[in-house]
Structure 1
Amino acid sequence: MLKILVAVDGSELSLDAVRHALGLRQQGLAAEFVLANVQEPASLYEMLTMRDPEKLLNVSTGAGEHLLERARQLCTAAGATYECDVESGDPAHMLIDIAERYACDAIVVGARGRGGLGGPMLGSVSQVLAHESPLPVTVVKHMQADDEASREGMYAHMAPPADSMEVVIGLA
């Protein structure tokens, strides 16, 4: 059985990645998931005003747990096996660390597919993951506003987005 890390920041974009991963499972891929959220490290201001590192950690973990809630609901509704992890640090590099710690076989992440006329094709986290991860990385493009009407029917059966862009980076 494959273990797939799905990066979740609570955005609709990251939930598209969760839906895509669940769609692969529904289509027959034997997989379980690690839902991972990475919080930015505390700022100097936060460290000076709160002063208690344990309280800072609790606030950060609580925020991450909250952002994972919808992804958990999707996995539970689909009957998928999953674990959750909330960490703090540089998001892309921490996601690689989490994937290695959980012995994941692949990473699925959402990204805004802008492209065209010099525009970036991937977001910063997905771009770093695609270049630096030793694991295969699937980047799922977010559906555009004109595709919103088809979103409900498409995801009702947990199929991956029809216009999803997959970038798969092999082992280095």
Structure 2
Amino acid sequence: MKVLLPVDGSELSMEAVRLALRMRREGMHLSAVLANVQEPASLYEMLVAHDPDVIDHVSAEAGLHALQPARDMLDAAGVDYECEVAKGDPAHTLIDISERFACDMVIMGARGASALRSAMLGSVSNEVLHASTVPVVIVKPVDAEGV
């Protein structure tokens, strides 16, 4: 089974990687696609950099840097994986990556946004959950009391 693991550098995205590794230890055969989506450069960044190639290079390096802890975990566990750093709207870009790599499942973290905020603003995990054609497992944060 090929699993898309979006990694943004947060602890919650790393918990999604840990869940995939637990599933593997419990007998699921899996390979992974580690994905990081960088937002497009702001107008200010484009004006300051003067060179779109510089922005692209910095963006790609930032994405690879964010993926490194997940790569280390998968390497240590002997899991086959591919990496993808992309730019664009995170939710739509993750759906595109999932389809392009023929992923069978997505495992991703969710921010602890309130229900009202999530309903008003939406979230990447919520958008992926509703737009994905494959199962999506969302790893949620545990509150301070562990409930």
- Provide the TM-score with structure 2 as the length reference: 0.90
Cα shift at 1:112: 3.1
Equivalent residues, number: 145
**Equivalent position amino acid for 1:144 in 2:** D
Q: 2:36 — aligned with what? A: 37
Residues 143 and 76 from structure 1, CA distance in 2 versus in 1: closer, same or farther, beyond 3 angstroms?
farther
Structure 1 runs (4+) deviating above 6 angstroms are: none
Q: Contact (CA 8 Å) 1:6, 1:36: kept in 2 or not?
A: yes
Show CA shifts across 1:16-47 (max 9, x none). Answer: 11101111111111110000000010001111
Q: TM-score, normalised by structure 1?
A: 0.78
- Offset of 1:144 from its aligned partner? 3.3
Aligned to 2:26: 27
Q: Where in structure 2 are there 5+ consecutive unaligned residues?
A: none
CA contact (8 A) 1:109 1:139 kept: yes
Paired amino acid for 1:100: E
Which digits, 9 at most, give the CA deviation of each residue in 1:61-80, with x for residues without a partner? 00000111111111111111
Structure 1 residue matching 2:4: 3-state secondary structure: strand
What do you get for the CA RMSD once the two structures are aligned? 1.9
Q: Classify 1:146/1:104 alpha carbon distance in 2 versus 1 (closer, same or farther; 3 Å).
A: same
SS at match of 1:35: strand
CA apart distance, 1:114: 5.7
Unaligned runs of 5+ in 1: 148-162, 164-172
Q: In 2, distance between residues paired with 1:61 and 1:120?
A: 29
Greater RCO, CA 8 A, separation 6+: 2
Question: Which secondary structure state, in structure 1, belongs to the residue aligned with residue 36 of structure 2?
Answer: strand
Q: Measure, in 2, the Cα distance between the counterparts of 1:94 and 1:43.
A: 18
Paired-residue identity, %: 53
Between 106-115 and 134-143, report the one with greater CA deviation. 106-115
Q: Distance in 1 between matches of 2:69 and 2:49?
A: 29
Q: Distance in 2 between matches of 1:28 and 1:108?
A: 17
48-57 vs 62-71, which deviates more?
A: 48-57
What is the SS of the residue equivalent to 1:96? helix
Partner residue, 1:80: 79
